[in-house]
Amino acid sequence: MNGRISDDVWKIIACPHCGASLHGSNQNVTCTSCQSHYGYTKSGAIDLRLQQPKKYQYDFLLGTSLLPKSGFDFHPLKEESNPHVDFSKQYVPHHLSREIMSHFPKAKTDNSLMLDLGCGNMVHRNVCEYAGFKYVGLDYDSNEASILGDAHALPFKDRSFEFILSVAVLEHIRFPFVAMQEAYRVLEPNGIFIGTVAFLEPFHGDSFYHHTHLGTYNSLQEGGFRIEKICPSDRWSVLIAQARMGLFPKMPHMFSIPCIMPIQIMHKIWWRLGSVISKKATEETRIRNTTGAFTFIAHKPASTQDNW
């Protein structure tokens, strides 16, 4: 053990600046190539955030179409009828749902690692360990994360994780395409990437780019992912999100939700009337256009060229 880092995790750690191996003790960690120095925080986390600016080369390919010719469905997420992991007796942590957890993979081996990218206070640890994974929590700034790091320069070797979870994080990323390429790089071929991103939530916690369904598709595609699902949430609608986070923050739900109830009822009636007049005014379009956040599920293809 090195601080809070197990030997398994130590094996996959790399310099966020140059990608080379690190060597060190409980006090100091040094890159074997670029000689960058890293340390530990007071709370015992290893601090692998960039210690100097890093240039990242990014090529855009213009003039391509975004969605496949066959189209893409942006429907609310349904609970998987045959899940890999039975979470039925498990508590559902904050920001997750039974629907999202029903799509979690099961660890392939006893040594399978998963990354909670932007782990905060690690509320997802129990369910990820229940699925058989060794849990690695990384955050840019958290007293509880075992690793501090930057999503734009992940301190891990290529193809280190079977599963990446990133809940309510993507909107806080300053350069989303770079972070998506980094998530892709550290994921194993066939690995699964599950996450959520804010759409019509208010500005919160230094959020940069709230994503529409097309923006979510684009960010994932720029990362290289094969996109399976991008799903709006009906329960976490713009009205609920605004009431809880923007209009009446910290107000008990029993008071804030009734405040928006009349608008919510009028909104649903109006769209129902609209659906009589226009075929475009479907329930799915209403939910997609007015959701507070999207859930996404994507894979890294089996045979890939890494970005590095």
Under rule CB under 5 A, residue 50 binds Zn ion: no
Least distance from Zn ion to the Cβ atom of residue 32, Å: 8
Cβ atoms < 10 Å from Cβ of 261: 11
Closer CB to Zn ion, 34 or 123, in the complex: 34
Structure tokens at 302: 């089996």
Closer CB to Zn ion, 38 or 163, in the complex: 38
Which residue's structure tokens are 């992940």? Answer: 154
Measured N-to-C along each axis, helices 176-186 and 213-223 cross at an angle, to the nearest 10 degrees, of: 50
For Zn ion (CB under 5 A), the number of binding residues is 8
Of 25-33, 66-74, 80-88, 185-193, which segment contacts Zn ion by CB under 5 A? 25-33
Closer CB to Zn ion, 87 or 156, in the complex: 156
Least distance from Zn ion to the Cβ atom of residue 147, Å: 16
Binding mask 109-138 for Zn ion (x = CB under 5 A): ------------------------------
Least distance from Zn ion to the Cβ atom of residue 241, Å: 40
Among 3, 5, 14, 17, binds Zn ion (CB under 5 A): 17
Contacts of 88 (CB under 8 A, 6+ apart): none
Closer CB to Zn ion, 37 or 75, in the complex: 37
Q: What's the DSSP call for residue 245?
A: I
Least distance from Zn ion to the Cβ atom of residue 304, Å: 24
| Cα 231 to Cα 241: distance, rounded to the nearest angstrom | 16
| Residues 26-45 within binding reach of Zn ion (CB under 5 A) | 31, 33-34, 36
Least distance from Zn ion to the Cβ atom of residue 46, Å: 15
Single out the residue of 151, 156, 206 nearest to residue 179, CA to CA. 151
Least distance from Zn ion to the Cβ atom of residue 306, Å: 18
Among 12, 18, 123, 247, binds Zn ion (CB under 5 A): 18
SS3 call for 276: helix
Among 15, 96, 113, 119, binds Zn ion (CB under 5 A): 15
Which residue's structure tokens are 């670029």? Answer: 34
Closer CB to Zn ion, 33 or 41, in the complex: 33
Closer CB to Zn ion, 14 or 260, in the complex: 14
Q: Which long-range contacts (CB under 8 A, 24 or more apart) does 238-243 make?
A: 238/199, 238/200, 238/290, 238/291, 238/292, 239/263, 239/264, 239/267, 239/290, 240/292, 241/198, 241/200, 241/201, 241/202, 241/292, 241/293, 242/200, 242/201, 242/202, 242/292
Closer CB to Zn ion, 12 or 34, in the complex: 34
| Cα 110 to Cα 90: distance, rounded to the nearest angstrom | 21
Closer CB to Zn ion, 34 or 257, in the complex: 34
Binding footprint of Zn ion on the chain (CB under 5 A): 15, 17-18, 20, 31, 33-34, 36
